[in-house]
A and B are shown apart, each in its own frame.
Chain A
């Protein structure tokens, strides 16, 4: 009995174009946008390739004698220095596309740094500082410091982060998969046929839960495949990652079916689910990374998505994560409790009619 219910629900869900679009395209598009937005922040440091810097040397400046040496040192580091004896430095920077400008005064220097070329400006500032420092005499041996290498989670780049996180986020929007089917069922009062047949509330619930999980899993698996093949997203441990995502789908479906069975309105379910999932995702790192998010830790801890996100990201960059078990337990608990509540709500509704 339940096999045929699941089979036919699954057919209806997979025949809906909106489901395909939602679960394959949406994570890809959203991930692409967010990847692009956070590339600069999340990319690991790359030494700037050659860049051009303007300078002006005042007469009588302490740098006068050492200017050629300074230029040579900077040239070795890929920095080309060009003299501009006239013109406003900021204007020159914009017009000549200079990464920075230095005005060497009598016994000082004024460094103009472009906010859009921060790394270049920092590099220049550091090098000039070191050159100045090197003018000081040295007497004693340079003391060596102790260096330790504790365990740390390697940095993850934005492509991997968002390529993975958005799959997890859309796993939490699983009710959309069943929305059209359940709406049609309600419209045509197909529930009467179920009531007449004596099918148990548990079987009815499972027959809705399982096809949603399967359909969403297929869609997200295809989206993940697109990410891996075309955008070089790295998932790490495939089995554990798949398990984490699957449990998230289970938890989400169960939770959202509770809302549906409580409200009997798919519109209300979609609105409430989207709102809740958006907030959970916001605090859980689905938009701004959980590492950089300024949200209080307690709000992150309250978001089930946070655990899943961390587990998946750490699996990607380390191959293991302490958050896998937490994520599985939390998702499992939501799923199980949600399932019990769903069956109860279905019984209650039948008893009241």
Chain B
């Protein structure tokens, strides 16, 4: 068996593709982990203290705000005085709206942006606050003229927004009338005094049955790790495929027959290929570890050795899977296509790119079969400090390997019988 292993390793080392998978893909995976994600997790931690979100420039889209289901309102603010600030804060605090504000000079600029928003962004409504909103004595007589609302969707909550805006403006108008003043500071003081009379509101976000208790930062890190796992899975699958190709070629050019004539059984032959998978997984894990030395450990969210160990276990699973699938496929072309299909489907169905919590039962059931899903669960448990993570990962790894190696042996036996 040692000679078989040595020969296969030599064949692999002479293959340029092997070195690309061993070095380049782990580097890309580590690079992905270092990118700061603007998280699009749809289980966005509901932080009601967020208030009005500031939009620095037009390139920033508000479509991202829609993750928690709130009605997104993009505000083009040409005013910026204290009362417009109060108005927006009240709107943002109502509980149903997510408010983003961008400063503009005038309505013409706002109209131009709104026209572009209609095609390039997604929101419930846009607002324009005029420069003279609640700033001149005349403006208090017709506060409504200082606000223009743009309907930007077919969402029925636009009428709720309209009602809320008019109610807030009504309060401002009332205070102006009651205080007999058009001075913003005076009106604001009166409004805040009235606010003190109302019951104070506090909100708490509760993890539901399907929730996970991760913080926003952890969700960001988990997203990065998910993408990194996707690259690493590709590396494992391709290398497993290269090992499978040695089997295919040895079968095709009758080298396998020579090997069997020496008295070696199919089992020991196949076992030698599985050992190669172990060696290769270890190599990739080591390369990944070395790459992570260039990353800020804190930003990774997970210890380097922990990550390396997870990469090793995942490598065992996918190398074996790819080896088995490729061997059963029987020719180089089919084994390549099989490898890619395994990679594409497993990454997508395991929730590496986007969470599957909201998907149908069928999809979630299929997702449970994907090995990466368990590694993402393990990552979550590690983030939460749950000690059951490692026993779970080890059990999962052993289970999958037994399954794939078992299938592989049966497949190879069947193929030998056909021949």
Q: Given A32-B363, A41-B67, A152-B152, 11 other A-B contacts at CB below 8 A?
A: A94-B208, A112-B204, A114-B208, A128-B201, A140-B174, A145-B144, A145-B165, A150-B114, A150-B152, A179-B333, A179-B337
A144, B203: Cβ atoms closer than 8 Å: no
Is the pair B67, A108 in contact by a Cβ cutoff of 8 Å? Answer: no
With A37-B358, A270-B336 as contacts: A138 and B151 at CB distance below 8 Å: no
Task: Answer yes or no: A228 CB below 8 A from chain B CBs.
Answer: no
A292 to chain B: which residues have CB within 8 Å? 40, 63-64, 66, 122
Does B200 touch A at the CB level, under 8 Å? yes
Chain A CB within 8 A of B68 CB: yes
Contacts A30-B348, A94-B209 given; does A183 touch B333 at CB 8 Å: yes
Measured in the bound complex, the distance between the Cα atoms of B56 and A193 in whole Å is 64
Q: How distant is the Cα of A153 from the Cα of B120 in the complex, in angstroms?
A: 8
Contacts of B169 in A (CB 8 A): 142-143, 145
Residues of B within 8 Å of A150, CB to CB, are 111, 114-115, 118, 150-152
In the assembled complex, the Cα of A112 lies from the Cα of B155 at a distance in Å of: 26
Which listed residue (B115, B199, B204, B358) contacts A39, Cβ 8 A? B358
Across the interface, which residues of B come within 8 angstroms of A221, CB to CB?
Answer: none
Known: A109-B199, A154-B154, A267-B332. A41 touches B66 (CB 8 A): yes
Contact A267–B336 (Cβ < 8 Å)? yes
15 example contacts (A-B, Cβ-Cβ < 8 A) are as follows A18-B334, A45-B69, A89-B206, A94-B209, A101-B206, A109-B201, A116-B210, A119-B69, A123-B96, A133-B167, A138-B170, A142-B167, A147-B150, A152-B119, A267-B333
In the complex, chain A residues whose CB is within 8 Å of the CB of B46: 113, 115, 118, 121
Binary contact readout A285-297 vs B (1 if CB under 8 angstroms, 0 otherwise): 0011001111001
- Is A263 positioned at the interface, with any CB of B under 8 Å from its CB? no
A176: Cβ under 8 A from any B Cβ: yes
The 8 closest A-B pairs by CB, nearest first: A125-B95, A116-B208, A152-B118, A143-B144, A108-B200, A36-B359, A294-B38, A126-B96
Question: Taking each of A39, A132, A135, A140, which has the highest tally of chain B beta carbons within 10 Å of its own beta carbon?
Answer: A140
**Are A148 and B149 interface neighbours, CB within 8 A?**
yes
Bound-state CA distance A293–B153 (Å) is: 19
B136 to chain A, nearest CB (A): 15
Residues in B with CB closer than 8 Å to A151 are 115, 118-119
B35-75 vs A, CB cutoff 8 Å, 1 = contact: the mask equals 00110101100100000000000010101101111110000
Interface size on A, residues (CB 8 A): 85
Whole-angstrom CA separation of A105 from B211 in the bound complex: 28
A residues neighboring B (CB under 8 Å): 18, 30, 32-34, 36-41, 44-45, 47, 62-63, 89-90, 93-94, 101, 104-105, 107-119, 121-123, 125-126, 128-130, 132-133, 135-155, 176, 179-180, 183, 266-267, 270-271, 274, 278, 287-288, 291-294, 297, 322
**Closest beta carbon of chain B to A318's beta carbon, Å:** 10
B202 adjacent to A111 (CB under 8 Å)? yes
Tell me which residues from 217 to 240 in chain B have a Cβ below 8 Å from any Cβ of chain A. 238
The answer to whether B203 and A115 have CB atoms under 8 Å apart is: no
Q: How far is the CB of A236 from chain B (nearest CB, A)?
A: 16
Complex interface: stretch among B77-85, B302-310, B349-357:
B349-357
Q: Does B160 contact A (CB under 8 A)?
A: yes
B172 to chain A, nearest CB (A): 9
In whole angstroms, what is the CA distance A115 to B357 when docked?
12
Chain B residues, CB < 8 A from A114? 206, 208
User: A146 touching B67 by the CB < 8 A rule?
Assistant: no
Which one of A122, A140, A176, A288 lies within 8 Å of B173 (CB-CB)? A140
Contact, CB under 8 Å: B360 / A36: yes
Closest-by-CB residue of B relative to A139 is: B174
- Alpha-carbon gap, A132 to B174, bound state (A): 17
* Residue among B37, B122, B340, B348 making CB contact with A155, cutoff 8 Å: B122
Establish whether residues B148 and A274, one from each chain, have CB atoms under 8 Å apart when the complex forms.
no
Residue of A nearest to B353 (CB): A287
Inter-chain CA distance A248–B119, complex, in Å, is 23
Question: Is B37 in contact with A294, judged by CB distance below 8 angstroms?
Answer: yes
In the complex, which residues of chain B have a beta carbon less than 8 angstroms from the beta carbon of A34?
348
> B157 at interface (Cβ–Cβ under 8 A)?
yes
B184 CB within 8 Å of chain A: no
